[in-house]
Each structure stands twice: as structure tokens, then as C-alpha cells.
Structure 1
Amino acid sequence: MATVILVRHGRTGANATGVLAGRTRGVHLDETGAEQAHAVGARLSVLPLAAVVTSPLERTRETAKAIAAAQAAPSRPRSEKGLLECDYGTWTGRELKTLAKEELWRTVQAHPSAAAFPDGESMAEMAARAVGAVRRWDFRLEDEHGADAVWVAVSHGDVIKAILADALGMHLDAFQRLVVDPGSCSVVRYTPLRPFVLSMNTTEGDLGHLRPPRKSKRRKRASSDAAVGGGTGAAAHADPVRPTA
């Protein structure tokens, strides 16, 4: 049961000034964003990451490089087009305060599954390709590194919200209830029966509890069952306790 840490890139000048950057090239981390990226790298340095996978845009690649550089055995981040920012079409590069006056804005807020951006993609298309990319990489890395593999996917706010909504079993129309801040980490563990959302939108704190356990010949096979009653806490790789008669 591999575990993915979803990281939103650090802040950019476009974020700070309220501009919808979308897929615009040349949008880099600002000073605050660079600090956020290094902070994420420090948080994740306690984990032996199986891979760092990133959207191809500059702001995500810069964040991914900071994460990879902080590893005890640094490796080159891998690019994945499925993690790209939503294609906002003609909305790209415009101020959010101006876009908020358009009729489509209300659809994006209240009924995002029906929202399609002019000359761009729909939010449903964005969600489908992002979820598909994460699940493919999760399966691949579990196959390569074992069920205890921990890896990172660096992407964008709406993309990560869509992945989390899927993991939570939420309809895409409810994904605007989720918040994913720049430089934040959200953690999902996929299993044969269901995904488990271990945390969302954290920007500080120790992630050592995600470290793969030491190999043991007696180690029990991991379960897809949820712990009835809530479980025992942050041991992400522990087997849920089953009820007894």
C-alpha cells in the first residue's frame, strides 16, 4: 500500500498578486515560495522517498528540486504531464478579481463538474487525468519499491484538491470546500479497497510517522479495512484493529 504525499508548489508572484497563472511559462517561486519549498524539503528529509514526481511547470519543478535535494540520496525529479495545472484557456493570466465578475465564475464555485474554460479544458477533465496519473504512479512505485513505498507528487492547488476529493469519495462539485495552501502537504495511502486520507493541507510538523517500517519476517499483511472506533493514531502503516467477538 504505497503512500503519496501531495505537495503544492511554493508561492509565486502570480499567487501574491491575485493573477491566475495557469500554464503560463516563466512563472517562478518568489522569495516566500522558495522558503516554503525548502521547508517542505526539510519536512520530507526524514523519509526515504521512492520518487519525486512533478508537474512540468517551473514553479513545481523548483519545489520538487528542493525536496529532492534534501534527501539523503538525492535523485532527479520525474516529470508527469498528468499533474499539470488546469488549462484555464482564455482565463489564463487574468486577475481573479476580474474573473469573479464573469458568469462562469459562479459555475466554477458551485458546480465545478460542469465548468469548462473557454479554449481550455473542463474541471472534470482535469480531475480525471490527475487522478489517473497519481494512481498509475502509485501502482508503478509500489511494484518497483514494495507496498511500503512513500513518494511525492508536486502539483497545483486545484489539481491536488481534485485528487483529494476523489480519495475522500467526494463529488467534484464539493471540492471547493477543500483548501490546499502553497507549500502544503496532503497524504493519501491507496489500498485495494479504498484510499485513506491521512492528512490534508499541513505546512509544518514531523512526517516521520510515514517512514516505512523495518522489514520483518513476521510482519502481518497490511489491511484495507478501516479501524472501527477510530484506531490508535498516527502510525500510518499499522494494521487497523479489527473488532473481536
Structure 2
Amino acid sequence: MNFYCMRHGRTNYNDLGLCNDDPSRDVHLTEIGIAQAQSAALALRDVAIERIIVSPLPRTRQTAEIVNRYHAAPIVMHADLADIRSGFEGKPVSDYFAAICHNPLRARVNGGESLLDHKLRVLHFIDWLKVQQDKNLLIVAHEETMRVFVAYFEGGVEDSQLRDIHVGNCEYRHYNLDSPCKKSSFD
């Protein structure tokens, strides 16, 4: 199986530097985010995408709908792709980072999940993905989720280095589940 995983387009909360993991909040693509998604759609227009999988957060579906203009593939939601539950909904990302700085991998603040909790959730999704029958998938998720994908499929990334991986809005990666994965800290 070939699959492409992409971070959603730029949002109003990206511009404001705020955390969001609540799907009921009005977090949406900005004009820049829409243009990013349109650019990604053009780049992927010749890929025979059979299905698009998004997180429960509307910004991923909004991005997927723009890309899907060239594909008319079903868009389905998978809860394991949700952004990290930071415990800082609607609060500055900088406050979240300050709250976890004493133990960035394991700290759980305000009822949120740790980076390692999130990683395990994404690995659960990857296990699910391995048994899917599609030939070409697109996954639209979040930077934190993309970090786990990059570390798992590209290898050579220790847990302590996850935050060093930066994925731009609508940046995507292409992976093949039929080929052996590189050895990584997840094996």
C-alpha cells in the first residue's frame, strides 16, 4: 500500500499560537491554509487516491475536501489521528511547552496526554493501517502526528528528538507499507 500523510493547512489558531484538540472549537483554514491545500491538491492530482482518512478535528477534513476535488474519494475519520490532547485547549502553545518542560516526553498536564501517550495512539493507528486493503491512501493529520509517522517510517529518531521534527502546513510524505521500514526507535 502506498500512502501519503499530510499536515493540514494553516489555521486561525496557528496564527494565534493556540492549542486545539476540541473539534467543537471554531478552528478553520485561513486564506493561506486554503491556498496551501490547493497547492497540495495540484501536486497530488495524478495520484489515484482511493480513500482519505482524517482526524476528528475539522481543519483536517477541510484540507482533505480541497485535495479531494481531484479524486472524489470517500473521506473517513479515525480518532487515533487526533492532535495531542495537551490540556491547554484555547491557550497559548508556549504555555503548554512551559508546563511540560520538566519532562517533555511523559508530562501530562490538566488532564491531557503526554507525548508518549500520543505516540502510542498513533502507533495503534499505524497497526490498523497495515491491515487495510487500499492501494493508495491520503491521511490528513497534525504536526504532532506527522512527527510520529516520520520517526516510524524514516527511522533514526529517538523519542527525545520527536519535537525536533518540523512539518509545515500541507507538507506531505509518501510511504509504502509493502516495503520494509527502516529500523527505528519504535521497533
Match of 1:128 among 120, 123, 129: 120
User: 2:78 is matched by which residue type in structure 1?
Assistant: E
Structure 2 runs not aligned, ≥5 long: none
| Shift, 1:65, TM fit | 0.9
Paired-residue identity, %: 20
Query: 1:8, 1:156 within 8 Å by CA — same for their partners in 2?
Result: yes
Equivalents in 1 of 2:95, 2:180: separation in Å? 43
| Shift, 1:103, TM fit | 4.4
Query: 2:54, 2:60 within 8 Å by CA — same for their partners in 1?
Result: yes
Equivalents in 1 of 2:102, 2:178: separation in Å? 36
Structure 1 runs not aligned, ≥5 long: 197-245
Moved more, 165-174 or 186-195: 186-195
Match of 1:115 among 88, 107, 125: 107
Q: Are 2:160 and 1:157 aligned?
A: no
Query: 1:64, 1:154 within 8 Å by CA — same for their partners in 2?
Result: yes
RMSD: 2.1
Structure-2 residue corresponding to 1:12: 11
Question: After TM superposition, which residue ranges in structure 1, 4 or more long, deviate above 4 angstroms?
Answer: none
Equivalents in 1 of 2:90, 2:70: separation in Å? 32
User: 2:109 is matched by which residue type in structure 1?
Assistant: F
Q: Equivalent residues in 2 for 1:53-202 (5 A)?
A: 53-71=53-71, 74-89=72-87, 91-100=88-97, 102-108=98-104, 112=105, 114-140=106-132, 144-145=133-134, 149-167=135-153, 168-191=155-178, 193-195=180-182
- SS of 1:181's equivalent in the other structure is coil
Could you state the TM-score of these two structures normalised by the residue count of structure 1? 0.68
Structure-2 residue corresponding to 1:231: none
- SS of 1:7's equivalent in the other structure is strand
| Shift, 1:12, TM fit | 0.4
| Shift, 1:117, TM fit | 3.0
User: 1:122 is matched by which residue type in structure 2?
Assistant: S
User: 1:177 is matched by which residue type in structure 2?
Assistant: D
| Shift, 1:105, TM fit | 3.0
Q: How many correspondences in the alignment?
A: 182
Per-residue CA deviation, residues 153-189 of structure 1 (Å, 9 max, x unaligned), is 1000111102211221522211112111111111222
Relative contact order higher in (CA < 8 Å, ≥ 6 apart): 2
